[in-house]
């Protein structure tokens, strides 16, 4: 955004700058020396692609797919793992507020974000639950230039989408300030005309974020930040031939403060407190204005943490501990759900024999009413030659059962099927049995009288980084994730009205494995080409066993008769593509004009079974593979001003039946103005 | 165990013998095995919709079917009766007052395989309905304990691939059935209740094979 400066620094035009990653060690670490699969989306990529919200840029990264949830929000899939397994952090602090496990990425404004760090693979050894599959950490600008700086952006595009943001930065002496405001509104879009509903209803949101940093002394730094997010969306549903209308609102805030004390040159201690609240309110009204349905969700997290870091010549280390309180109040919980956590972790980052990088860490999480979880990580990297570096890591992760899986107590009010969280199921079912409300019991009630176990993962990465010269780089990474004790709903009984009662169980085990490949090529100072590819195999292990044993069948889609499947016919989990790729071209035509093109590809996948076996085999109907192409041009009218024009999804690809989050061709126009003082 | 093995060996021997015999006798002997397809047998129930993912509430009459007649019957000579996803047999005890009266010896079991793979009846597996639960469990497709699977994203009920229903009829004959579809071609009822199925009926009493 501050083009005058950014331009000179930009990696496009200069030799590659040494990038620094924070998320892997909770302190700055050279990306080059990191023995884990970590990557960075830098400011240049964010700016050049006119990305103002996290979803716009994250879905262009290798191996990351933006997947729509049942509520229309966009979540992400990484290394073939569901959205619920990736922790989303804002300057290291976790965001809450997920719908069916996915955190809506459109909630996150990039106005004050300097870079986005992505750690693939289990990261629970630093971040605990929810980081089972990886971490996405949005890092805001930490070092501000002296004086006042303002960045202003305005963007308008198809679907009447309007986005404006202002970033104000200030530094004088020991004080540093950053304030950002972002407003977004869209009319949404409708891919299917034949029904009464929109695919995405109109919505608008504001986010405001303020950060302050004050150096009390040379050794003591005080930081505080606050963020507020407000969203209003039209809500609608179809009942029979009637349209029900209402509103769906989100209120979210977070606030944090930290005190960093550099006790000695090589030892510092940081105390941090952080709290966040995510609240939704929604309702639907009948045509006559009477209330049809309402819903609320109110999730609070309060967390405090002490981080002690030491930095010796060859060895950096961190020991942290803390506690967290979490609370969820929502419709269909019999009481307010609460949980407390105490945790302690330590990690060493050691360079042996001058060139061997080792990271070893462990974390102990103790949730009330749960067995403690210990998560570990060990990573090793060393140069094979001057240009080639080997990296490998192994880690474990876990995800504590979520509040819904534990405390849900939902009975459909008009008819009465029931869903029970595991911690209320035993009592409720015992009561129902006593009152003779149960007809068939499929799972003995006594078996439900134990808490759910955490979902756990084992993650392995083995990779090579190859940098033959300054112009070219290749990264290749083989990965494997095994996730056990997957929690899913299962029918426990039927009631006398013959409707089912569900509860949650640790059932399946899945495996995702594959290969990720990234390359970047800068033939000259004007052109940069990046390409990425992911090969993915994702299986349910029980289903795989059934295939091995030869007892899997499918219905012929023409005759509807069954036939036996062979073990090669198992395609894998739903919503996983075997191949994904991207190609990004950034071209600097002259001093004033930048061009870019981004192509992303996703091979065929399926969202549900079509041939009578509830699994995905090669005879099923698939959602066809597709490619999306974005193009854009930026004209820097002066060092402080620019205009960007672009088209996302140039070929207007849509698939109304299966893909709700691709809206067709999107034109946009953006102005950016930078005011330096 | 041993006797079972022996029976199996004996049975397969028999099967081979029959196969051989069948080849030769095709033209002379009356065929006792009847193969047919029933299309869109109407077993719709009165269905009260519930908001998804809840299954609907189901009431109404059962549609009675006879393998010997090859169609719907009204009398006591029925073998199997259908109502929406629920399948009952003319044998055992009713589990609910809306079920028709039972006078026969019918029984059933569900087994994995294709129609071609299931060549004979394993009598030990046959079960009758009882007062608590029907022999073919009706879970409305939620748990795949019965013959169908319910897809919560599309709200479609489909027959589970590779599930064959093996029946003893009300008068001690045998039949095997593969259900192909639960909806009519026009999807006139989103809750289905139209059974299209293939069946093979062994009309010779005491003959446990379908070949």
Strands (E), B43-141: 46-48, 57-59, 63-66, 71-72, 80-83, 86-89, 107-112
Check B160 against A607: CB less than 8 A apart: no
Residue B159 forms contact with A (CB below 8 Å): yes
Structure confidence by residue, pLDDT tens digits, A331-340: 888 889 999 9
Give the count of alpha carbons within 13 A of A276, CB side only: 17
Distance between A383 CA and the closest CA of chain B, angstroms: 50
Indicate which CATH number applies to the domain containing A653. Answer: 2.40.170.20
CA distance A153 to chain B (A): 40
The gap between the terminal CA atoms of chain B, to the nearest Å, is 26
Task: Tell how many helices (H) and how many strands (E) occur in chain A.
Answer: 7, 38
Q: Calculate how close chain A gets to B209, using CA atoms only, in Å.
A: 20
B113 contact residues in A (CB cutoff 8 A): 553, 562
Chain B environment of A414 (Cβ under 8 Å): 50-51
Residue given tokens 């009662």 in the structure block: A501
Q: Is the minimum CB–CB distance between B116 and chain A shorter than 8 Å?
A: no
Chain B touched by A450 (CB under 8 Å): no
Specify the DSSP class assigned to residue A346.
E
What does residue A419 show for φ and ψ, rounded to 5 degrees? -125, 125
Average confidence score pLDDT of chain A: 91
Token reading at A246: 């209402």
Residue A493, pLDDT > 90, answer no
Please name the helix (run of DSSP H) or strand (run of DSSP E) that holds residue B166, with its range, or none. strand B163-168
Q: How far is B28 from chain A (nearest CA, A)?
A: 31
pTM flag (> 0.80):
yes
CB contact under 8 A, A491 and B160: no
Q: Which of A551, A554, A562 has its CB closest to that of B178?
A: A562
A635: confidence class by pLDDT, cuts 50, 70, 90: very high
What's the CA gap between A591 and A8, in Å, rounded?
11
Contact A614 B144 (CB under 8 A): yes
- pLDDT for position A14: 42
B124 at interface of A, judged by CB pairs closer than 8 A: no
Query: Partners of A463 in the beta sheet?
Result: A391, A477
User: Which residues of A fall within a CB distance of 8 Å from B84?
Assistant: none
Looking at residues A429-457, what average pLDDT do you find? 89
**A494, A497, A553 ranked by CB distance to B161: nearest:** A553
Contacts of B57 in chain A (CB under 8 A): 415, 497-499
Residue A13 three-state SS: coil
- The HSE-up count of residue A453 (CA atoms within 13 Å, CB side) is 12
Instruction: Write out pLDDT tens, residues A346-361.
Output: 999 999 998 999 999 9
By percentage, how much of chain B surpasses pLDDT 90? 61
Residue of B nearest to A499 (CA): B55
pLDDT of residue B20: 43
pLDDT at B59: 83
Contacts of A611 in chain B (CB under 8 A): 161
Q: Quick check: A158 and A411 in contact, CB under 8 A?
A: no
Give, in order, the Cα–Cα distances in Å from A412 to each of A659, B50, B53, B56: 29, 9, 10, 12
Contacts of B157 in chain A (CB under 8 A): none
| Structure confidence by residue, pLDDT tens digits, A62-119 | 999 988 766 666 789 999 999 999 999 999 999 999 888 889 888 999 989 999 999 9
Q: And the tokens for A672? A: 């950016």
Chain A, residues 209-268, CB within 8 A of chain B, namely: none
Q: Which of A559, A560, A612 has its CB closest to that of B149? A: A612
Structure tokens at A569: 């016919």
Q: Which residue has the higher pLDDT, A90 or A238?
A: A90
Cis, bond preceding B139 (omega within 30 deg of 0): no
Check CB contact under 8 Å for B54 and A609.
no
Q: Tell me whether residues A555 and B142 touch, CB distance under 8 A.
A: no
Which of B85, B64, B70 is closest to B39 using CA atoms?
Answer: B70
Task: Tell whether B64 is within 8 A of chain A (Cβ).
Answer: no
pLDDT recorded at residue A228: 97
Give the integer Cα–Cα distance in Å for A23 and A466.
23
Q: How confident is the model at residue A3 (pLDDT cuts 50, 70, 90)?
A: very low
Give me the residue from A442, A499, A608 closest to B154, CB to CB.
A608
> How many Cα atoms occupy the beta-carbon half-sphere of B71 within 13 Å?
0
Helices (H), ranges, A489-574: 541-548
Using alpha carbons, list the distances in angstroms from residue A180 to A111, A143, A165, A207, A232: 6, 15, 7, 8, 20
**Residue B191: per-residue pLDDT:** 86
DSSP state letters, A602-623: E--B-SS--SSSSSEETTS--B
Q: Over 60: is that where the pLDDT of A411 sits? A: yes
pLDDT band at A486 (very low <50, low <70, confident <90, very high): very high
Kindly give the pairing relationship between strand A175-186 and strand A134-140.
unpaired
Q: Does B39 touch chain A (CB under 8 A)?
A: no
Per-residue model confidence (pLDDT) at position A495 = 83
Q: How confident is the model at residue A243 (pLDDT cuts 50, 70, 90)?
A: confident
Number of separate domains in chain A: 1
pLDDT at A32 over 50: yes
Residue in B139, B142, B161 closest to A612 by CB:
B161
φ, ψ at A235 (rounded to 5°): -125, 135
Q: Check if the beta carbon of residue B62 is closer than 8 Å to that of residue B90.
A: no
Neighbour tally for A300: CB within 10 Å: 17
Domain span at residue A489 reads: 3-676
Q: Is B154 on the interface with A (CB under 8 A)?
A: yes
Q: At residue A150, does pLDDT exceed 60?
A: yes
- What's the pLDDT at A591? 87
- The greatest distance separating any two alpha carbons of chain B, rounded to the nearest whole angstrom, comes to 59
In contact, A260 and A221? CB cutoff 8 Å = yes
Q: Test A412 with B51 for CB contact under 8 angstroms.
A: yes
Lookup: tokens for A88:
């989303």
Nearby residues of B84 by Cβ (< 8 Å), 6 or more positions away = B43, B44, B45, B47, B58, B60, B191, B192, B193
Q: Of the candidates A412, A277, A250, which has an alpha carbon nearest to the alpha carbon of residue A332?
A: A412
Residues of chain B positioned with their CB less than 8 A from the CB of A554: 161-162
Cα–Cα distances in angstroms (integers) from residue B47 to residues A30, B84, B194, in the given order: 64, 9, 13
Closest CA to A235 of A71, A414, A69, A412: A71
Residue contact B51–A414, C-beta within 8 A: yes
Tell me how far apart the alpha carbons of residues A502 and B55 are, in angstroms, rounded to a whole number: 12
Task: Please check the confidence at residue A15 and state whether its pLDDT lies above 80.
Answer: no
Chain A positions in Cβ-Cβ contact with residue B132 (cut-off 8 Å): 439-440
CA angle in degrees (0–180, nearest 5) for A58-A60-A62:
95
Q: What is the pLDDT of residue A337?
A: 93
User: By the 8 A CB rule, do A46 and A110 touch?
Assistant: yes
- Using a CB–CB cutoff of 8 Å, tell me whether A411 touches chain B: no
Strand runs (DSSP E) across B17-139, as ranges?
A: 33-42, 46-48, 57-59, 63-66, 71-72, 80-83, 86-89, 107-112
pLDDT lower than 50: segments of chain B: 1-29
- Chain B: nearest CA to A571, how far in angstroms? 16
Per the listing, tokens 């036939």 go with: A563
By C-alpha distance, the chain A residue nearest B86 is A498
Which pLDDT score, from 0 to 100, does residue B54 have?
64
Q: Quick one: CA dihedral A600, A515, A517, A20, positive or negative?
A: positive
Q: How is residue A587 written in tokens?
A: 């071209």
Q: In this predicted structure, what is the pLDDT of residue A72?
A: 62
Out of B57, B117, B144, the one facing A497 most closely (by C-beta) is B57
Please state, in angstroms and rounded to a whole number, the distance separating the CA atoms of residues A247 and A385: 60
Tokens read off for B87: 């399948």
Of B115, B145, B153, the CB nearest to A608: B153
Token pair of B177 as six digits: 């059935």
Mutation pick from A240, A612, A658 vs chain B, by most beta carbons of B within 10 Å, is A612
């Amino acid at each position: 955004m501050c083009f005058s400066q950014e331009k000179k620094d930009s990696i496009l035009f200069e030799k590659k700058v040494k990038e620094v990653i924070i998320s892997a060690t909770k302190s700055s670490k050279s990306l080059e020396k990191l023995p884990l699969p970590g990557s960075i989306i830098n400011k240049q990529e964010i700016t050049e692609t006119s990305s103002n919200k996290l979803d716009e840029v994250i879905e262009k990264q290798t191996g990351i797919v933006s997947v729509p949830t049942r509520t229309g929000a966009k979540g992400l899939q990484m290394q073939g793992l569901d959205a619920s397994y990736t922790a989303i952090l804002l300057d290291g602090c976790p965001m809450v507020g997920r719908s069916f496990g996915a955190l809506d990425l459109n909630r996150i404004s990039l106005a004050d974000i300097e870079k986005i760090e992505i750690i693939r693979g289990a990261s629970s050894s630093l971040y605990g639950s929810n980081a089972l599959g990886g971490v996405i950490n949005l890092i805001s600008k930490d070092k501000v230039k002296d004086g006042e700086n303002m960045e202003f952006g305005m963007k308008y595009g198809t679907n009447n989408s309007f986005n404006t943001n202002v970033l104000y930065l200030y530094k004088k002496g020991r004080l540093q300030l950053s304030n950002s405001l972002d407003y977004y509104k869209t009319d949404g879009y409708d891919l299917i005309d034949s029904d009464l509903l929109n695919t995405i209803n109109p919505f608008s949101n504001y986010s405001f974020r303020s950060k302050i940093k004050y150096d009390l002394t040379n050794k003591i730094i005080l930081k505080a930040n606050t963020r507020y997010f407000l969203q209003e969306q039209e809500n609608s549903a179809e009942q029979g031939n009637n349209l029900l209308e209402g509103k769906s609102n989100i209120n979210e805030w977070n606030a944090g403060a930290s005190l960093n004390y550099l006790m000695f040159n090589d030892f510092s201690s940081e105390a941090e407190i952080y709290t966040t609240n995510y609240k939704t309110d929604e309702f639907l009204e009948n045509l006559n204005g009477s209330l049809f349905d309402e819903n609320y969700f109110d999730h609070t997290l309060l967390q405090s943490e002490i981080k002690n870091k030491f930095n010796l010549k060859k060895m950096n280390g961190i020991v942290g501990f803390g506690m967290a309180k979490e609370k969820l109040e929502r419709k269909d919980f019999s009481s307010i759900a609460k949980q407390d956590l105490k945790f302690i972790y330590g990690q060493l980052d050691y360079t042996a024999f001058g060139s061997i990088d080792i990271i070893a860490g462990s974390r102990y999480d103790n949730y009330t009413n749960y067995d403690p979880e210990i998560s570990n990580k060990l990573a090793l990297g060393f140069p094979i030659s001057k240009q080639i570096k080997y990296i490998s890591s192994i880690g474990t992760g876990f995800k504590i059962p979520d509040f819904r899986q534990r405390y849900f107590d939902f009975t459909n009010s008009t008819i009465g099927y029931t869903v029970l969280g595991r911690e209320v199921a035993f009592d409720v079912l015992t009561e129902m049995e006593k009152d003779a409300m149960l007809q068939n019991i499929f799972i003995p009630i006594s078996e439900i009288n134990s808490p759910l176990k955490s979902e756990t993962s084992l993650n392995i990465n083995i990779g090579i980084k190859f940098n033959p010269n300054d112009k070219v780089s290749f990264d290749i990474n083989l990965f494997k994730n095994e996730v056990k004790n997957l929690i899913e709903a299962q029918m426990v009984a039927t009631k006398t009205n013959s409707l089912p009662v569900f509860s949650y169980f640790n059932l399946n085990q899945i495996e995702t494995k594959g290969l990720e490949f990234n390359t970047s090529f800068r033939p000259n100072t004007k052109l940069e080409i990046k390409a990425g590819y992911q090969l993915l195999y994702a299986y349910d292990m029980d289903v795989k066993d059934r295939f091995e044993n030869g007892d899997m069948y499918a219905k012929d889609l023409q005759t509807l008769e069954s036939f036996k499947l062979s073990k090669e016919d198992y395609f894998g989990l739903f919503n996983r593509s075997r191949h994904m790729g991207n190609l990004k071209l950034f071209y600097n035509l002259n001093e004033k004009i930048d061009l870019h093109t981004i192509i992303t590809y996703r091979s065929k996948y399926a969202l549900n079974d079509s041939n009578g076996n509830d699994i995905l085999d090669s005879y099923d109907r698939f959602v066809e593979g597709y490619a999306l192409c974005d193009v854009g041009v930026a004209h820097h009218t002066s060092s402080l001003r620019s205009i960007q024009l672009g088209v996302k999804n140039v070929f207007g690809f849509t698939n109304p039946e299966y893909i709700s989050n691709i809206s067709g061709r999107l034109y946009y126009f953006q102005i950016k103005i930078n005011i330096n003082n | 165990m041993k006797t079972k093995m022996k029976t199996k060996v004996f049975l397969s021997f028999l099967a081979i013998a029959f196969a051989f015999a069948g080849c030769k006798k095709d033209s002379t002997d009356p065929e006792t095995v009847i193969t047919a397809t029933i299309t869109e047998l109407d077993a719709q129930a009165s269905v009260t919709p519930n908001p998804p993912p809840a299954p609907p509430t189901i009431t109404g009459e059962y549609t009675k079917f006879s393998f010997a007649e090859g169609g719907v019957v009204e009398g006591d000579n029925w073998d199997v009766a259908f109502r929406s996803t629920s399948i009952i047999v003319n044998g055992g005890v009713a589990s609910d007052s809306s079920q028709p009266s039972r006078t026969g010896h019918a029984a059933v079991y569900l087994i994995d395989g294709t129609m071609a793979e299931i060549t004979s009846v394993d009598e030990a597996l046959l079960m009758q309905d009882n007062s608590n639960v029907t022999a073919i469990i009706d879970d409305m497709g939620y748990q795949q304990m019965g013959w169908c699977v319910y897809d919560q994203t599309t709200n479609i009920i489909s027959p589970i691939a590779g599930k064959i229903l093996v029946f003893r009829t009300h008068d001690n004959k045998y039949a095997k059935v593969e259900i192909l579809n639960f909806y009519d071609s026009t999807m006139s009822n989103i809750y289905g209740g139209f059974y299209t199925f293939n069946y093979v009926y062994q009309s010779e009493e005491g003959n446990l094979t379908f070949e």
